[in-house]
Amino acid sequence: MTDTKIKIENLSFFYGKKQAINDFSLDIPKNRIMSVFGPAKSGITTLLRSLNRLYELIPDTRAEGRILIDNEDIHAPSVSLTQLRRRVGMVFDVPTPLPMSIFDNMAYGPRLSGIKRRSELEGIVEQSLKMAALWEDVCDRLDTPAASLSGGQQQRLCMARVLALKPEVILLDRPCSGLDPISTAKIEESLQELKKQFTIVIAPHNIQQGGRISDRAVFMLSGNLIEEGTAEEIFANPTDKRTADYITGRFG
């Protein structure tokens, strides 16, 4: 068992009076891929957004319980929200390229964090694009608009943009929705490399993807943790009937 990177303790989450996550506890190991899956409205996106406090952009929301990253409570007053979101990057289901060139998309975060030297930025851009398996596709056209890339390339650009900030944790919320099988396979393949350096928490876009890429997986239903275990345990021998029914397509 590797070290725990993220420890979630008794997390409950509320949108106004509506509770979306109920007393949820989970250890997320370092340098592994943890899949969080379940039917719609199970609280999966909310859970992911809790890990870098992205929900704070939404009014009238409230989290109870503790989330520790490297034993530090992310809700502690001393934690800088900007720093937290640098440490815990997020890729969304729909690619969100900024209306600028590929290079500027990539350099946007590093520039904001104070890096100005062109050579340093170029180094970060190249390294991050390589990690996201996009460098070979775009190295000769970095000054073209990011919007000219295919959907799969745009999504890998978004991954690379997160990587450019040198995060510790990467959250991916159904990053392959709407992508063709080749683009999906490229992203899945790069995740296997990325986990060597980062901790990855992903909401897979289907159960099959969860089975292919996860080291561990957790099944959520109506904001509750139903079952957690190794990918082998969850996708081959789940112990809870609800998990079994869901992964075999019998409910959900």
Partner 1 sequence: MIRSHFDEDLKQLHREIVDMGSFVETAIASAVTALKSYDVERCKEIIESDKKVDEMERKIESQCLWLIARQQPVASDLRQITTALKIITDMERIGDHASDIASLAIRITDRSFFPESEMIFEMAAAAIDMVNSAVMSYVNYDMELAKATEEKDDIVDDYFNKVKHYLADVFSTQPHRMDVAIDYLLVAKYLERIGDHAVNICEWVHFSQTGEHKSTKIF
Which residues lie near partner 1 (CB under 8 A)?
Answer: 133, 182, 185-186, 188-189, 192, 208, 211-212, 231-232, 235-236
110 vs 211, beta carbon nearer partner 1: 211
130 vs 166, beta carbon nearer partner 1: 130
Q: How far is the CB of 232 from partner 1 (least distance, A)?
A: 7
Residues 6+ apart with CB under 8 A from 127: none
Q: What are phi and psi of 46, to 5 degrees?
A: -60, -45
Q: Give the dihedral sign, CA 129/134/135/137.
A: negative
Q: How far is the CB of 177 from partner 1 (least distance, A)?
A: 18
Cα–Cα–Cα angle for 31, 170, 214, nearest 5°?
55
186 vs 216, beta carbon nearer partner 1: 186
Q: Are 197 and 225 in contact (CB under 8 A)?
A: no
58 vs 236, beta carbon nearer partner 1: 236
Q: How far is the CB of 250 from partner 1 (least distance, A)?
A: 16
Among residues 27, 24, 26, the alpha carbon closest in space to that of 12 is found at: 24
Cα–Cα–Cα angle for 153, 158, 159, nearest 5°?
95
Q: How far is the CB of 238 from partner 1 (least distance, A)?
A: 11
Q: How far is the CB of 216 from partner 1 (least distance, A)?
A: 13
Rounded Cα distance, 178 and 157, in Å:
16
Rounded Cα distance, 190 and 130, in Å:
9
90 vs 194, beta carbon nearer partner 1: 194
Residues 6+ apart with CB under 8 A from 201: 6, 28, 34, 36, 48, 51, 169, 170, 171, 172
Q: How far is the CB of 119 from partner 1 (least distance, A)?
A: 28
21 vs 160, beta carbon nearer partner 1: 160
